Chains A and B, each alone.
Chain A
Amino acid sequence: MNWITNYVRPRINSIFSRRETPENLWSKCDGCGTMLFHREISDNLNVCTSCGHHMNITPRDRFAALFDGGVYSEIEVPEPVADPLHFRDSKRYPDRMKAAQKATGEREAMLVGTGEIGRTPIVAAAQDFGFMGGSMGMYVGNAIIAAAEEAVRLGRPLVLFSAAGGARMQEGILSLMQMPRTTVAVQMLKEKRLPYIVVLTHPTTGGVTASYAMLGDVQIAEPGALICFAGPRVIEQTIREKLPEGFQTAEYLLEHGMLDRVTDRRRMRDELIVLTRMLMHMPPPTWGDLPPPGPEDRTRDDAPGAAEDGADGTAA
């Protein structure tokens, strides 16, 4: 892959993401109802400055804040067969796809990139809840496989940010088959002793939770995120009783032993740097506002300070 053609210029401090209308300068926090100026929100990684409520963040905005200097190179995802089942409900699936692409400016519900965080080379994948609810179909499966293969090739850890309402129903059984497919991807990493860190964001549900999102070496969640297999409404209908306050939130799962940590988005990057560096046997990080890696650093792409065992930068 040509590094230069895939070089992504960050939109540093962009006031509006493509998804927001310029007229709408103010947003109301879902958590506390405070009216917040857009710039205030985006400067704070879409976390409410008043109550700390974590709002959704697009994969591009997340990557811009995650990677050193906001620079990463996007990894190409093999394009799957379009509309494999010829699915239609009230709309044709290709029409739903087009609408989602237009609304988000994205091709599909997952973005994969590679770059450095605190000078730690990683591969990152982020699911896009704004794109058809982040739902997992063939493309998302291919993206996770591509991310794992790239991580294995470069000998880097994979950090995955999950966010999904579940499987892409319009791809029927093929969406379900992403559970085993993505599990194979996770196994590729584990066999090479490369760290696989999952950051569960709001919401992570259904088949996504029941596959790659629960198989991390370290499981971190953002505060308040809904994380479940069956959603609260389905459960309430089944057991015919009200669920307790905070049921299936990140904090609830932490308490029930299903997560390692719940971490504020604004501290997530530092935490990921600390964890990946320890797991990769790298020295403690140098803190500070690091610029993007210079050309001399880029040669390290193929010779990372990776674990000795098998992670030699060659494809599996």
Chain B
Amino acid sequence: MVRLTIDGKEVEVPEGTNVIEAARRLGIEVPYYCYHPGLSIAGQCRLCMVELGNNPRPQIACNTQVTEGMVVRTDTSKVLETRQSIMEFHLINHPLDCPVCDQAGECWLQIYYMKHGLYEPRMVDEKVHKPKAVPLGPHVILDAERCILCSRCVRFCDEITGTGELGIFQRGDHSEIGLFPGKELANPYSANVIDICPVGALTDRDFRFAVRVWYLDTARSICPGCSRGCNIEVHYNLRRPHHNQGRRVARLKPRYHAEVNRWWICDAGRYGYKFVDDPSRLVSPSRGRGDAAVEIGWDEIIPVIAGQLRRYRPEEMGVLASPKMANEDLFLLKRLVDHLGLAHVDFSVPPRHPGDEDNLLIRADKNPNTCGAELVGLGPREGVGHGGARGILRAAREGRIKCLWVFHHDLLASAWPEEEIREALRTLECLIFQGSNANRVSAAAHYVLPSATWVEREGTFTNFEGRVQRFWRAVEPLGASLADWEILGRIGAALGLGPQPVRAEECFKALAAAVPAFAGLSYGELRDTGKVVSA
């Protein structure tokens, strides 16, 4: 550890810490643009100047490591004047088009200019003009005039993805960020450059002009896109419902987690939330197949479902749970399955096209909670010999299973022959579909139970490493949809299972008490960063 003094306050930090981070410990903000804790140091923007000891000239804090007894000042008039001059330089050729800039409201030029601006601009010359609104790839669009050449985006592509698409071309005040002519910014993590671009130079083609950022609210969440379980923020808009075509979720942003995803998320995960406000959402329980389907209320359908579950003998019933369900849901389902004495239970349905994977974040398993489903015990049971989900479907085809309860899966998108599945679905006497969006299974179902999506409820996922992580509710469930655990609780009550949890937290508590891997865990214990189960 190294002791130093910043603005008269002492602080102790590990060796190798730079002055920006040391100051942060004390709650002292040293402004910067080019520095990013996840990237190499560039020393490009010059904004983080501080005074060190008796050095006659201010020095950049990002590239200065702390030393024992170092005396730093971030609040002297020399430092403040330096910041003002640097800001003036950064804005010499800036177009000042904030009113039509998507970054406005979360732009670090605006934020620091408010603190360190000159306010009386001295620039009278014509500004240098550069390309505006240039799509760089499927997700990112560039306004080169707004770029302050911090090189974060370049370093991201060099150091994190190793794809090197971006560069700074030309020289002096004609320098501009860009791609090698004819190339695209299309790596699987490309949109992270939007997050790290401190200004409005790189913006999101998907989010652009959808909602002004000051109308957005934020909920902490976990990406459900694969078994990595990247920590994210859900940005949603309820204050201007007429913006963004009524879509409530406006964008997903990465949330730092030191051991899961650091500062990043992949593009597939970032844009994978569209199903939440999609017209395909199931918004009411219904009975009857296809055109004969009629919407009914929960109070009406719950006893009917319970009746069906009672009607068949255990060996005539099958359950296909989903690794997209939260631990809370899976646990209540497990309790129900055990109560009914069902053996034909599985959760794993292989996708038609195996998922891609890399060694940064993306995992081949596109489900957020495969590990949870295994731990809760919804996998094929040893010794029962039903051959897993495919065996269950075979039994349905052969009429041995008469009642099947499918959660979320679009079985027709699985690796198994479509005809095999169609036949199974046709043959069933009673097909119950529970899920958030309509698919070919819900279309064939006798009963549909609409689930809330993960942003409409709280819960936990267990990622591939066994890390149990919480997600929080952002928006209300659409229509009459309910969290899976709530639906299962109501059915459980109707089946005489006794009092059912009324909050997700209670489900988790019961899970922790029943499943050894989760022993000792609670929502309080999980906090923001989650906990790895003792598998």
Do they bind each other? no
Q: Which A residues fall within an 8 A CB radius of B? A: none
